[in-house]
Structure 1
Amino acid sequence: MTRATLSEVLQPAMAGGYAVAGVVCLGWEDARAYVTAAEAEGAPLILQAGPGARAHTPLPVWGAMFRELAENASVPIVTHLDHGTDEEDCRIAIEEGFSSIMYDGSRLALEDNIAQTARLAEMAHAAGVSCEGEIGFVGYAAGEASRGTDPEEAARFARETGVDAMAISVGNTHLQTTAGDGLDEARIAAIAALTATPLVIHGGSGVPHEQRHRLATGSSVCKFNIGTELRQIFGATIRQTLAANPDMYDRIGILSSLHDPLVQAARTVIRGLRP
């Protein structure tokens, strides 16, 4: 199948009562495993290159890897720039064939966030690419604290930026290694009552699985970003492989051991977002 835009997978998700996983990728091996999982589940998937991945591997390389995976997949695959914080990253991603960008202006004042996000959404749409924005601020475990999303501000943000998806702060935190206390469902409902824009939860690994499923199938949350939960499988599998094979040194052999465990973990994530 050809690559899909974010809007092309989230609008059917909203209508069909399910959510799509936005999987945070760090290399070829995990990205390939996640696509294999999506094909096994017959579900769309969003491959995401975030700031850490881009610091390690140049954005054009991510564009080529994602394009290769998406164009040969049997299910719709979105190739997504996650947390683009400047126009240059967003522009390069569009030039390199990404089908979706996220402009993250969440650290800006509201007026500046709206203005910048609207400008980049217009640039993306002119190129046939989707755009996600963030209102409120989703913090980081052992780092910056979150700032909750105000429903009225969210409605204005969605209306004035024209984004295809809106990341919100409702008790979620990036880089949580265990399930947290859960999301504020009343705040989510209040936001959803004021806008028809699909909602996105960053830091989805820290959301209890039962709540993830309930929101995915019964709310306007149509995208959950999942990174830490899958990276934990990656790290644990490498440790097990090396402990069991102390003489193994070949990179391909070591990383090949990751494929099946990552496929199974990603299938569980994808299945948990569907009825």
Structure 2
Amino acid sequence: MLVNLNELLPSAAVSDGAVACCNVFGIEEAKSIIAAAESLSLPVILAVNKDMVDLAGVEAMGGLLVPMAKASSVPVVVHLDHCYEEKIVYRAIHSGFSSVMFDGSQLPLEENIRRTRQVVDVAHAVGVSVEGELGSVPYEEGRDHIKSMSTIPAEATVYSQESGIDALAVSVGNVHRKTEANSPIDFELLKQIEMATTLPLVIHGTTGIAEPDLLKLKQQRVAKFNVGTTLRMAFGNAIRECMAQEPNKYDSQYFSGEAMPALQAEAARVIALLAARRRPLIK
């Protein structure tokens, strides 16, 4: 069933668990991730990132993912990840996305608030949830123009109240696209942010965070973890292994199909790891 963030995150924020938000790049990832969530009877968020927006466009991705979400036996959010342009956000909303992220983290606070508020007003009018970011989560590789800047608690209060967002992505030492789990999480800063806002919090760069820290984070008000690299690694490594074993095959669909069980297994591991110990009932 297709849902938005507001149907999942408020309860997750006050539980000892969170919802996994998994990057998808095509039908293989979408099918594998939804199957993993269904096997656990847990909700999941499918995220479309900037790379897929640039390659396929939000209309094509919405056309692919929204029907799959609606057909699922568990709640599924179709979410537009890090988007810096309002026109693309509005196209995503028109294409059926149930949630969007307008990322104004590279802007001055006042402009971030103003532009995010405009997106929120449009999105909320049609039942679409909105995530924003304050501070700036850096990238291990690629997107060198993205700043590395921790979230300032006092600004989080103002931004949360004036922007109208439903979830707040924070920068507390987490880093996008890391292949090793060694990001140093500033739990004291996170505590200060939790005191500054009542919103559900979001952590990007989950692959780079050590499991003990993930287990600790999910017991805070962190309600959503964005996951990408570990899923791509599982899928890519399985494809490589299959191609090495069958060098005379050339059908990409065949290799992707052979690798999907590995992707589903990794997705299930992540979804279960982040979930609350006492599982919410799926209605």
Q: Normalising by structure 2, what TM-score?
A: 0.94
Task: Look up the match of 1:40.
Answer: 39
**Partner Cα distance (1:43, 1:152) in 2:** 34
- SS across alignment from 1:272: helix
Matches within 5 A, 1:105-144: 105-142=104-141, 143=144, 144=146
Task: Look up the match of 1:27.
Answer: 26
Task: Look up the match of 1:238.
Answer: 239
Which among 183, 193, 196 is matched to residue 194 of structure 1?
196
**Partner Cα distance (2:216, 2:171) in 1:** 18
Report the AA paired with residue 223 of structure 1: K
Task: Look up the match of 1:91.
Answer: 90
- SS across alignment from 1:231: helix
- SS across alignment from 2:104: coil
- Count of residues paired in the alignment: 273
Task: Look up the match of 1:212.
Answer: 214
**Partner Cα distance (1:146, 1:27) in 2:** 30
Task: Look up the match of 2:281.
Answer: none
Q: Is residue 2:246 matched to residue 1:248?
A: no
Task: Look up the match of 1:271.
Answer: 272
Q: CA deviation at 1:16?
A: 2.9
- SS across alignment from 1:46: strand
Q: Is residue 2:153 matched to residue 1:154?
A: no
Which runs of 4 or more aligned residues in structure 1 lie more than 3 Å from their structure 2 counterparts after TM superposition?
142-145
Report the AA paired with residue 107 of structure 1: Q
Q: CA deviation at 1:253?
A: 1.1
Task: Look up the match of 2:81.
Answer: 82
**Partner Cα distance (1:211, 1:94) in 2:** 34
Q: CA deviation at 1:248?
A: 1.1
Unaligned residue ranges in structure 2 (runs of 5+) = 278-283
Q: CA deviation at 1:27?
A: 1.1
Q: Work out whether residues 157 and 197 of structure 2, in 8 Å CA contact, stay in contact via their aligned partners in 1.
A: yes
Unaligned residue ranges in structure 1 (runs of 5+) = none
Q: Normalising by structure 1, what TM-score?
A: 0.97
Q: Work out whether residues 13 and 200 of structure 2, in 8 Å CA contact, stay in contact via their aligned partners in 1.
A: yes
Q: CA deviation at 1:266?
A: 0.4
Task: Look up the match of 1:228.
Answer: 229
Task: Look up the match of 1:178.
Answer: 180
Q: CA deviation at 1:245?
A: 0.5
Task: Report the more deviating stretch, 249-258 or 264-273.
Answer: 249-258
Q: CA deviation at 1:145?
A: 4.5
Task: Look up the match of 1:64.
Answer: 63
Q: Work out whether residues 14 and 221 of structure 2, in 8 Å CA contact, stay in contact via their aligned partners in 1.
A: no
**Partner Cα distance (2:50, 2:183) in 1:** 27
1:124-169 deviation per Cα after TM superposition (whole angstroms, max 9, x unaligned) = 1011100000000111114344100001101111111110000011
Q: CA deviation at 1:184?
A: 0.7
Report the AA paired with residue 264 of structure 2: V
Cα RMSD (Å): 1.1
